[in-house]
Amino acid sequence: MSEAISPSPPRENRSVAIVVLLVLEAALVISWSAGFVGIRFAIDHAPIFLILLWRSLVSGLVLLPFALTMGPPLRWKDILPQIWFGALAMSGYLAGFALAIVFGVPTGLVALIADMLPLAVAILSWPVLGQALSARQWLGSFLGLAGVLIASGWSIDMGHVPLWAYGLPVLGTLSLALATLLQKRSPAGAMPVHRSLCVQCLSASAIFAMFAWHEGSVLPVLDWGFIGGVLWLVFVATFGAWSLYYIALRKSSPTRVTSVLYLSPPVTMIWAWLMFGEPLSWAMAAGLVVSLAGIVIVARSPAVLAGRTRDS
């Protein structure tokens, strides 16, 4: 009798794990999209790198007491990789897009390239992790990308800027993709999220400080629009989005986690519609449906499911 009922608990645990992962991914998409809202609030009140500096610095300082007191003593061999991950994941990713906007690349096009992160992870998975994607995963990734193109590509204006400037957001996307895969592979990736996020934010703030100083000042702007935007970016976009991103990465595969972010552009458009009155369109709705189809294909891939089971 005991042998007949023994498989039941594992199935129940698996169902609970799937539900938890879906809730986690939904929260990730919402909070990741909220980052654009914070930038929208603050960018009219301060230069972009000053915003990124204070977003990172305040986030790191808030987390610092918890990082120092919660858990075993910190060791340099664990801290140094996190500094490297912060330089790649936060500084490289955000600076690439910020510089592109500074040099005149249309914001819509920059956002569109940012949405190609899942494809960059898929391309780098084999050389970094030795994980070749299945045909089903490639199909899902390209469907997700197609949804993004349908939803937002129709409104893109290439503008008149130097050709090399378009490579900046591409480098930013590859930087985050590489950091994602390296952190998944590295033993330092097991550091508690509050500690890794603290180190990464502080390391990113040091890099952003140099860009902000070059722009003119590292001092905060005493304006409620700037302060409100930074606080939103700290508590929603950083503590929310990046924490959920790293937690989800530990519970699932990089391909699945980043594929879920294909939902970020349509959700961001809904945020913009609700908060700023920006128009919605049937193209956006169609893009959302196509992206959802791609995500479902990736999420149900046997390779992704197997990776999730091993990680959990």
Q: What is the 3-state secondary structure (H, E, C) of 238-266?
A: HHHHHHHHHHHHHHCCHHHHHHHHHHHHH
Residues in contact with 96: Cβ distance below 8 Å, sequence separation at least 6, in sequence order? 168, 169, 170, 171, 172, 173, 175
Q: For all residues of the chain together, what is the average pLDDT?
A: 76
Of 166, 90, 142, 170, the residue nearest 255 (C-alpha): 142
User: Which span out of 189-193, 239-243, 267-271, 293-297 was modeled with the highest average pLDDT?
Assistant: 239-243
pLDDT tens digits, 117-152: 777 777 777 666 666 667 777 777 777 777 767 766
pLDDT of residue 59: 93
pLDDT at residue number 306: 43
3-state secondary structure of 105: coil
pLDDT tens, 266-302? 777 777 777 767 666 677 677 777 777 776 676 565 5
Q: Which of 123-137, 152-166, 178-192, 236-250 has the highest mean pLDDT?
A: 236-250
Alpha carbon 189 to its chain centroid, in Å, reads 16
Q: What is the pLDDT of residues 7-17, one digit of tens each?
A: 444 666 767 77
Instruction: Evaluate whether 266 touches 284 at the Cβ level (below 8 Å).
Output: yes
Residue predicted with more confidence, 172 or 124: 172
pLDDT in tens, 70-118: 878 877 887 888 888 888 888 888 888 878 877 777 665 676 677 677 7
Tokens at 106, concatenated:
């249309």
- Residue 223 contacts by C-beta under 8 Å, 6 or more apart in sequence? 45, 46
pLDDT of the residue at 111: 67
Q: Where are the domains of the chain?
A: 17-311
pLDDT value, residue 305: 41
